[in-house]
């Protein structure tokens, strides 16, 4: 077999997180297994006239504890969040770039909206004026969706593959799968990947309200995200970032890295059905899960934990469980959980933090819960173990993560307990 045809094993050696329930990977995990809700009234703007007045915002976070004020002003919050999560992941992975070939290290980052906060601010400022264009010189580089991957590479001097994925709420899972592929194809030794989102603002909340996607449970925000519950009424907006360091097994062993888990499969498909709605039978989700398992060479019965997309929308949750039923059949031994019930929906960053949840489930032998769900859709109530209410201990050898995006984008990643 030619060298170009030999697929490399791909492992995870570092993680970083900035989320509504924890400002680093350790605190995020503790928030998950404790069943903490990150939802609360919006503080970033006056939401009094909005249909939805709450979100899952970052808490007790000051970017100037991480980045100098003069530098931070050049970046939209989504890029700021990316830099914070990546710095943690790089430290966690024990990387000294001076000892590595930076030409073989890349960045594949994702965001669904990019600098939407910057775009909103600059257009609003222009609209208040007399028509004279007075735009911030950083407007375009702060706003464009690819800038975070560029800034990460500049900070660390990484000259390998560099691009940004955009597949709406499947974005950072797409980035992880692309990174997995580039490394196993031998095109990179290491890739920093993940996603970030900073969309708790008037534009995004108003837009999602207009499309009737957000929950309006303003009287009780903490329980608003309730996946699979018959009373669910929409998703809760979240913000933050998740970062992973992926590298080839050989590269990780050579630098004596601690290996956290292995990436063994990825499925990217499409519903090909509707602008914003999922296929009623979860056709794309079904195909994505099958593709990930086929690539890993395993059966549905091998999977111990499934982190579902489960945003708490009426149509989306039902279609996903239909797809899960087709793949796994009624199965109460498979643990399923919807961690968006705690974090809210981080849009383009969702797949990254949910990958971290899967990796920790494998390493710690703990399944994070689905909170707030009291009465499951009758058609599925007795068919699946949705890990309701509290975390459970369980040996996890394989964990799968589903993410779906507007436009019908599907990305499913598959992780395995590392064995040398």
- 279 part of the active site: no
Compute the distance between CA of residue 266 and CA of residue 176 in angstroms, rounded to an integer: 9
Q: How far is CA 384 from CA 16, 111, 228, 315, 325, in A?
A: 31, 32, 11, 18, 9
Options 182, 279, 309, 409, the catalytic residue: 309
Cβ neighbours for 139, distance < 8 A, ≥ 6 positions apart: 118, 122
Q: Directed axis angle between helix 314-328 and helix 283-296, to 10°? A: 40
Q: How far is CA 281 from CA 8, 160, 319, in A?
A: 35, 40, 5
Options 56, 92, 169, 182, the catalytic residue: 169
- 393 part of the active site: no
Q: How far is CA 400 from CA 199, 224, 294, 296, in A?
A: 26, 25, 13, 11
- 345 part of the active site: yes
Q: What is the DSSP-derived secondary structure letter of residue 388?
A: B
Q: What is the DSSP-derived secondary structure letter of residue 8?
A: P
Paired strand residues for 245? 14, 192
Options 92, 279, 345, 409, the catalytic residue: 345
Q: Directed axis angle between helix 116-128 and helix 77-92, to 10°? A: 160
Residues annotated catalytic, as ranges = 169, 309, 345
């Amino acid at each position: 077999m030619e060298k170009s045809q030999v697929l490399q094993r791909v492992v995870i050696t570092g993680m970083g997180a900035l989320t509504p329930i924890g400002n680093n990977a350790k605190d995020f995990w503790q928030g998950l297994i404790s069943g903490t809700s990150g939802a609360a009234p919006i503080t970033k703007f006056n939401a009094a006239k909005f249909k939805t007045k709450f979100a899952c915002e970052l808490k007790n976070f000051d970017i100037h504890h991480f980045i100098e004020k003069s530098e931070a002003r050049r970046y939209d919050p989504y890029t700021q969040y990316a830099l914070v999560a990546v710095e943690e992941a790089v430290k966690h992975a024990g990387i000294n770039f001076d000892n590595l070939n930076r030409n073989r290290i890349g960045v594949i980052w994702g965001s669904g909206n990019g600098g939407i906060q910057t775009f909103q601010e600059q257009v609003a400022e222009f609209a208040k004026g007399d028509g004279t264009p007075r735009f911030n010189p950083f407007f375009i580089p702060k706003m464009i969706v690819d800038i975070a991957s560029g800034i990460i590479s500049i900070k660390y001097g990484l000259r390998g593959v560099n691009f940004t994925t955009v597949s709406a709420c499947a974005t950072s899972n797409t980035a992880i799968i692309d990174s997995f592929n580039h490394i196993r194809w031998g095109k990179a030794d290491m890739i920093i990947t993940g996603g970030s989102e900073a969309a708790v603002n008037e534009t995004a909340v108003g837009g999602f309200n207009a499309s009737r996607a957000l929950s309006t449970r303003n009287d009780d925000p903490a329980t608003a995200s309730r996946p699979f519950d018959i009373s669910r009424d929409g998703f809760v907006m979240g913000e933050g970032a998740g970062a992973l360091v992926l590298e080839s097994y050989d590269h990780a062993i050579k630098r004596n890295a601690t290996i956290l888990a292995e990436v063994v499969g990825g499925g990217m498909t499409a519903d090909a059905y509707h602008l914003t709605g999922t296929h009623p039978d979860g056709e794309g989700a079904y195909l994505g899960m099958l593709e990930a398992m086929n690539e890993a060479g395993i059966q549905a019965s091998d999977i111990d934990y499934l982190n579902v997309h489960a945003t708490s929308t009426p149509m989306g949750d039902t279609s996903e469980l239909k797809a899960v039923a087709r793949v796994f059949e009624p199965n109460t031994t498979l643990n399923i959980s919807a961690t968006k019930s705690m974090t809210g929906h981080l849009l383009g960053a969702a797949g990254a933090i949910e990958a971290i949840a899967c990796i920790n489930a494998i390493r710690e032998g703990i399944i994070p819960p689905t909170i707030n769900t009291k009465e499951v859709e009758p058609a599925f109530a007795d068919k699946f173990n949705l890990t309701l209410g509290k975390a459970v201990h369980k040996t996890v050898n394989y964990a799968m993560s589903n993410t779906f995006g507007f436009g019908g984008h599907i990305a499913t990643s598959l992780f395995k307990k590392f064995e040398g």
